[in-house]
Structure 1
Amino acid sequence: MTITKRDSSDSKHAGHNRPVSKPAIDVHDGVVLLDSGVNFIGEQVSYPKGKAKIKSMLATMAPGQKTGWHKHGVPTYGYILEGQITVDYGEAGKTTYFAGEGVLEAMDYWHEGVNDGDVPARVVVVFMGAEGAENVIYHPDGPDQPDA
């Protein structure tokens, strides 16, 4: 029996016993849902300082339900699973997001969403925050006050 010692030079990544290579089918090459660092109103996404804290949730809005006027203290990504949501950005305009669309939410800009469809809207929401950062900041003058 012959034993051959493997030369570490044929490993492309330290700590691996075999060369690193891209698989024939790479799960990271899936369907792109969103590829941007700028949201609908033109804000460049920026991350809060501090220790990262990511929160994801499934939100459901009944037909006619509103979010109330709010903004985000952290980058927020949403993916519409079902239904539709129209977001009012005040002077920046309105846009409707439909099932199958990804959304980068406005951060430092008041906005309000409404499910103006006839079925519940289901949205996967991901807050990409930090410990101590506020994910959602509601308007101090109440839910129907867009000017601040």
Structure 2
Amino acid sequence: MIKNLFIAIAFALMLINPSISIAAESPVDVQEIFVGSETMDGDSLKYPKGKAEIRLQRVELAEGGVVPLHSHPIPLLGNVEQGTIVVKRQGMEDLTYTAGDTFIVGPKTPKHTMGNAKTDNAVVWFAAIGAKDVPILIPAEG
């Protein structure tokens, strides 16, 4: 009982301050993987107004798969689980991300495509905290 209470208190403290770690004897292992406050383009994160909504998406790109030219009205946190992707931004250098890489895309990121750079499938997870009814992706016109 006391051990469970200790674990619950440690977890609550960790939520308040993520730098606090859980005791070594605990079966819970929390690892901070990524922290960021700027997009891949160096823009500070800002959230839209409205009722908050959290989303998580898994995007799988087969060989030759490309998400067509688009933009994002809200910040997205991306993590490449498998494969290699290339983000091609209009008027900017291409960015390549491989398994284990994490990045942030935001509203000021130029219109871009995201494609599989290899022959094996690529898998990217995207998390977003935005406003209800605000889309994650806006296709480019034309």
Normalised by the size of structure 2, how large is the TM-score?
0.76
Q: 1-side partners of 2:44 and 2:92: how far apart?
A: 15
Give the drift of 1:132. Answer: 2.3
Indicate the structure with greater helix content: 2
Q: Deviations over 1:4-62 (max 9, x none)?
A: xxxxxxxxxxxx9xxx55631486751x4322111121221111111111111211001
Give the drift of 1:127. Answer: 2.1
Alignment RMSD (CA, Å): 2.2
Q: Are the counterparts in 2 of residues 74 and 107 from structure 1 also a CA contact under 8 Å?
A: yes
Match of 2:117 in 1: 116
Match of 1:11 in 2: none
Match of 2:19 in 1: none
Identity between Structure 1 and Structure 2 (%): 25
Corresponding residue SS for 2:91? helix
The runs of 5 or more residues in structure 2 that have no matched partner are 14-21
Indicate the structure with greater strand content: 2
Following TM superposition, the consecutive aligned residue runs of length 4 or more in structure 1 with deviations greater than 2 angstroms are 20-23, 25-29, 106-109
Q: Are the counterparts in 1 of residues 73 and 106 from structure 2 also a CA contact under 8 Å?
A: no
Residues matched between the structures, number: 123
The runs of 5 or more residues in structure 1 that have no matched partner are 1-15, 142-148
Instruction: Mark the structure with the bigger radius of gyration.
Output: 1
What does residue range 45-124 of structure 1 map to in structure 2 within 5 Å? 45-108=45-108, 109-124=110-125
